[in-house]
Amino acid sequence: MNWIVAGLGNPGAQYDRTRHNVGFETIDLLAARWKIKKIKKLKFQSLYAVTAYNGVKVTIVKPQTFMNESGRALRLASDFYKVPPTRVVVVYDDVNLPLGRLRIRPGGSDGGHNGMKSILYHLQSAQSPRIRIGVGAPPGGEMVNWVLGGFPPDQRKTIDAAIKRAAEAVETLITQGIETAMNRYNREEEAQDG
């Protein structure tokens, strides 16, 4: 059966490499790992590409709806490919996790993340596997500028390593199952508080 792997973010050069766009960066890295030259097809209000990874058909998606409407794009893609929510993997940033920490879950609440709130609403399910990448909490509590801001140079190495582990976690999840991915990546202590 097919999988959809969606990385959340905001379209536009001004959002490149910001905290909110680590999901997009993970999709770009998966494309590079899977020898997809460029994710440039536009459909489902998303940039997307279809490929096979270890014999499994995977559609990788970068919704172009802006973060808060991510669910609209994923609903279009999942309806078109007839992929159930349990096979729609979502990769996104989490301010509640320390910088660089991964947290993989088979489903659950939106955790206050507007992109996930939209996905739960449009897919009418809380059963989509998710890979959350810790970006740390804002020191002063001002959330919008924090998530739309970039990483200082001293944090970039940590977040790049986390994005690489998130891409590996996606590969593990779709070929070996969520339990294996959770056991392998939720326990890693490589992350640093930032």
Q: Is residue 88 part of a domain?
A: yes
Instruction: Give SS3 for 14.
Output: helix
Residue 123 lies in domain: 3-185
Q: Is residue 192 in a domain?
A: no
CATH number at residue 86: 3.40.50.1470
Does residue 134 fall inside a structural domain?
yes
Q: What percent of the chain has pLDDT over 90?
A: 91
Side chain identity at residue 169, one-letter code? A
pLDDT at residue 189, rounded to an integer: 53
Q: Two tokens at 117?
A: 């709130």
Q: Which residue has the tokens 């490929």?
A: 51
Structural domains of the chain, count: 1
In angstroms, how far is the first alpha carbon of the chain from the final one? 39
| pTM reported for the whole predicted model | 0.95
Q: Annotated catalytic sites, by residue?
A: 20
Which tens digit of pLDDT belongs to each residue from 7-39? 999 999 999 999 999 999 999 999 999 999 889
Q: Are strands 88-94 and 130-134 parallel, antiparallel or unpaired?
A: parallel
